[in-house]
Structures are given as C-alpha cells and as structure tokens.
A and B are shown apart, each in its own frame.
Chain A
Amino acid sequence: GQNIDQPTEMTATEGAIVQINCTYQTSGFNGLFWYQQHAGEAPTFLSYNVLDGLEEKGRFSSFLSRSKGYSYLLLKELQMKDSASYLCAVRPPGRNTGKLIFGQGTTLQVKP
C-alpha cells in the first residue's frame, strides 16, 4: 500500500526554527519531494532527496532516511511569508515516474 503521514498543523514563531516530519510506507521508492503551497496558489518545489542525508538550500533543508521511511523539512529563521501548507510527496519506481504520492500536507502558521 501507499501511505504518507505528516502532522496536520504546526505553529511557530517568527525567527525560530521548525521541523516538519514525514513518514512513508510505499511499495518502492524513487525519490522524495517537498513542496510549499500558499492558500489559493500552485505548489512550488522546495527540495528533492533520493539518497540518505541532508540537502541544504538557503533557509530550507531536507533530510531523508530510506531505511526508516522518514524525511523532515527544516525551516530556519522563520518569516511570516513562510505561513503555508508543506506537502511531502514520494515518487514510486517504474516507468510511470511522473506520479507523485502526496501526504495531506502540514499547515504551518508563523506568528509574530
């Protein structure tokens, strides 16, 4: 089966650090993506992990452990504009590599 779990909501303070976790149980794995989606807008790409370890990109970092079926997105120096939904998505293996299996998303609220 395919199952991706993320917390539904999180709240953090401006300037702080927040970690959004994602666990997955999928039949096969061909990479994990994180997307940001502001209300009423398109999801925008944040990061891609296919090997274990940490990928850093400015204020955002993403970590993957394939053996544990676990990833997290780390946001540093939070800004008000970071208030959005964060979507974890797994790409299954196979010739149909366009398919992404999304979690339900984590709504992050950044407070002053």
Chain B
Amino acid sequence: ETGVTQSPTHLIKTRGQQVTLRCSSQSGHNTVSWYQQALGQGPQFIFQYYREEENGRGNFPPRFSGLQFPNYSSELNVNALELDDSALYLCASRPGRGANTEAFFGQGTRLTVV
C-alpha cells in the first residue's frame, strides 16, 4: 500500500477557473513530484518539491504552481484553466532525492475542464 493520498478524486471545473489539488506524501517521504497524465499517455513531469522548495520543473507554464508544507504534504495550483488541462494529476513521493529511490504514486485526481 502506497500511503500517498490525493484529494479530491474527481473534479469538474469551468474554463478560466482556478483549481487546487492536494497530496499527502507517504510517511517519511520528504520529496514530492507532480505529474499530468492525459488519457492514453504516460505521465508528464510538472515539478518536484524537496523540503518546501521547488527544485525542478518540466515544460509547464507558470500558471501551474505548487507548495510543499512542513509536514511534506503538497498542493498543485492551476490558474486560468484551459480545456487541455483535463487530465489525471498524479502526486508521487520519495524518501529523499537519491536517484535509485522509486516514486510511490497516489491514485490521482481526475480533473475535467468544461
């Protein structure tokens, strides 16, 4: 069992709105990454947080932003939603930044933008 929990599980928003997605990392994990997975595609890296600081970002515009809290939980915020933002958003946590540590994924938040 992964121990990574995300909320909400499903969400419907209107184009132009803002959304906040939440993630509780597995106990002892201080590194959290966020991914966007479109239907039929592999996950795309959005960004990573380590000890409350962003320390890596993929090819996503600035309207995708995040936070990590002292308890290592995290939020993903998306402003000015577009139809193409409809996807499964996955959070993954790891116990540190070592290259050989696997990421444990949450079940994701399914966002639909209409």
Contact count A vs B, C-beta below 8 Å: 72
Contact partners of A35 in chain B: CB under 8 A: 105
Q: Chain B interface mostly helix, strand, loop or mixed? A: loop
Residue tally, chain A, CB below 8 Å to B: 28
Interface string of A83-110 (1 = CB under 8 A from B): 0000101010101111111111100000
Determine whether the beta carbon of B56 is less than 8 Å from that of A99. Answer: yes
- Which residue of the partner chain A has the closest CB to B56? A96
Q: Which stretch in A39-47, A52-60, A69-77 binds the other chain?
A: A39-47
What is the CB-to-nearest-CB distance from B109 to chain A, in angstroms, rounded to a whole number? 11
Residue tally, chain B, CB below 8 Å to A: 29
- Which residue of the partner chain A has the closest CB to B31? A98
In the complex the two chains form, what is the Cα distance from A91 to B35 in whole Å?
A: 14
| Cβ contact of A41, chosen from B35, B45, B104, B107, cutoff 8 A | B107
Contact partners of B35 in chain A: CB under 8 A: 100, 102
Determine whether the beta carbon of A97 is less than 8 Å from that of B105. Answer: no
Q: Quick check: is B4 within 8 A (CB to CB) of the other chain?
A: yes
Residues of B that sit less than 8 Å from A by CB: 2, 4, 31, 33, 35, 40-45, 48, 50, 55-56, 58, 90, 94, 97-100, 102-108
